[in-house]
Amino acid sequence: MDLSVAACDMTGRREVAYGEDRTYVTASVVKVAVLAAVLLRARDAGRWLTAEEERLSAAMIERSDNDAATALRATAGGVAGLDEAHARLGMTHTSAAPAWGLTRTTARDQLTLLKAVFGARSALDGRARRYLAGLMGRVVPGQDWGVSAAGDGWALKNGWLPRDGSGLWVVHSVGRVRGCLVAVLSDGHASREEGIARVEEAAVSAVRRIV
């Protein structure tokens, strides 16, 4: 089993990291970057999201709807558009894939993305940051595990994926909790439930070391 953590307080002065440069497939945590890419493209065009884009965004983040993610990544410009957004957001070790859930990333890059969503210094403007963070704070029951185990005031996005070759599970959780930004990525679990337990244990440990 592989597990990586990158976490910090909101000032960025206190940090916990291990295995943070190991690469994983994103599964559904990529949906945060997909929405960031859509928001950047809309701002470049001098507009806000359309009503349909807002509907799809809520479905993608709050319920992890895959069809919504497929539609919004097309809106963001597909593989090239997502990689352009990765570059603008400072995610230097993340690369999009034709199947969006197989995008490759690191815990370090996911922490960089969280800083762009929840911090003041960002390629995203204030309205975009508030919107994305708000959706992450309304993840539906049953998908609200992960970094939320570390305390209250959470906003998160999780990802889970059984690998075709091995049957082992990828389980990730990224978000904000107790004034900390936390990214936990993992692979090689015998079950989704086992993965959730390991990810939550890692998130709790990281936050305790920071606060």
Q: Is the Cβ–Cβ distance between 3 and 205 less than 8 Å?
A: no
The pLDDT tens digits for 27-71 are 999 999 999 999 999 999 999 999 999 999 999 999 999 999 999
Is pLDDT of 120 > 90? no
- Predicted pLDDT of residue 13: 84
Q: Is the Cβ–Cβ distance between 175 and 144 less than 8 Å?
A: no
What is the C-alpha to C-alpha distance for residues 10 and 117, in angstroms, rounded to an integer?
Answer: 11
The pLDDT tens digits for 63-92 are 999 999 999 999 999 999 999 999 999 999
Residue type, 50: T
pTM of the entire structure?
Answer: 0.97
Give the three-class secondary structure for 104: strand
In the chain, what is the straight-line distance between the N-terminal and C-terminal CA atoms, in Å? 27
Q: Is the Cβ–Cβ distance between 143 and 64 less than 8 Å?
A: yes
